[in-house]
């Protein structure tokens, strides 16, 4: 079993806790209270800015064949994903520029930025976000919300292009060959941060 297969086996039951979280179920139904999503949106905007920095730090260490992959991921996050947040911010009245990191955001970004000091472990640490959101998006898209703003969120993460990026990260983890025990520990900690992040300040 490859390292990424082992991470998936660990992650599937942990992902169910996210699917059951009130914030995720509210997005899926399209009836999440606007103040909750507004707060989440502000926190995730701050998270993604540091997520781009994580990709950049890993790109500096990457073998030549994967330098472009990580630059592309940083570009897609900064432009495509953050553009979604910017467009939704106007509709939800979010203050992206004035937002301040809450405890969950600060803990998660600190963990990722520190993990990125090691190429293989850093990939395993960030994988819960890529794989988790892609999987959540695909599941929610089977019965998508009719509310157009939440539908846009689901469509973004259910997009096959986003899934392809997650698959690419899995391949890079396997090629990097980090110590499996360390990779599993980093991935599990990342999944815990993902769950905590849904409980907005």
Domain parsing of the chain, residue ranges: 3-198
Give whole-number Cα distances, 124 to 29, 111, 114, 129, in Å.
31, 12, 13, 10
For residue 75, what are the CA distances in angstroms to 46, 48, 56, 95? 16, 11, 10, 23
Predicted pLDDT of residue 200: 81
| Per-residue confidence (pLDDT) for residue 51, from 0 to 100 | 96
pLDDT higher than 80, residue 201: no
Of 67, 80, 69, nearest in space to 169 by CA: 69
Residue 109: band (very low, low, confident or very high) from pLDDT cuts 50, 70, 90: very high
Q: What does the block give as tokens for 4?
A: 């990424």
Average pLDDT of the residues of the chain: 95
Q: How confident is the model at residue 74 (pLDDT cuts 50, 70, 90)?
A: very high
Q: 3-198 — its CATH code? A: 1.20.910.10
Q: What is the pTM (predicted TM-score) of this model?
A: 0.94
């Amino acid at each position: 079993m490859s390292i990424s297969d082992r991470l998936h086996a660990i992650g599937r039951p942990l992902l169910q806790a996210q699917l059951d979280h009130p914030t995720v179920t509210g997005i899926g139904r399209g009836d999440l209270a606007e103040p909750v999503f507004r707060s989440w949106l502000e926190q995730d905007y701050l998270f993604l800015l540091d997520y781009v920095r994580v990709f950049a730090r890993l790109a500096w260490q990457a073998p030549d064949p994967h330098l472009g992959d990580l630059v592309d991921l940083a570009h897609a996050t900064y432009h495509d994903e953050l553009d979604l947040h910017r467009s939704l911010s106007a509709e939800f009245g979010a203050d992206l520029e004035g937002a301040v990191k809450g405890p969950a955001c600060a803990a998660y970004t600190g963990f990722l930025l520190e993990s990125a000091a090691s190429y293989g472990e850093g990939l395993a640490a960030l994988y819960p976000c890529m794989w988790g959101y892609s999987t959540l998006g695909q599941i929610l898209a089977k019965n998508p919300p009719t509310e157009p703003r939440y539908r846009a969120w689901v469509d973004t993460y259910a997009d096959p292009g986003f899934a392809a990026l997650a698959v690419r990260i899995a391949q890079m983890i396997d090629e990097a060959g980090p110590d499996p025990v360390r990779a599993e520990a980093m991935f599990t900690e990342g999944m815990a941060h993902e769950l905590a992040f849904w409980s907005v300040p």
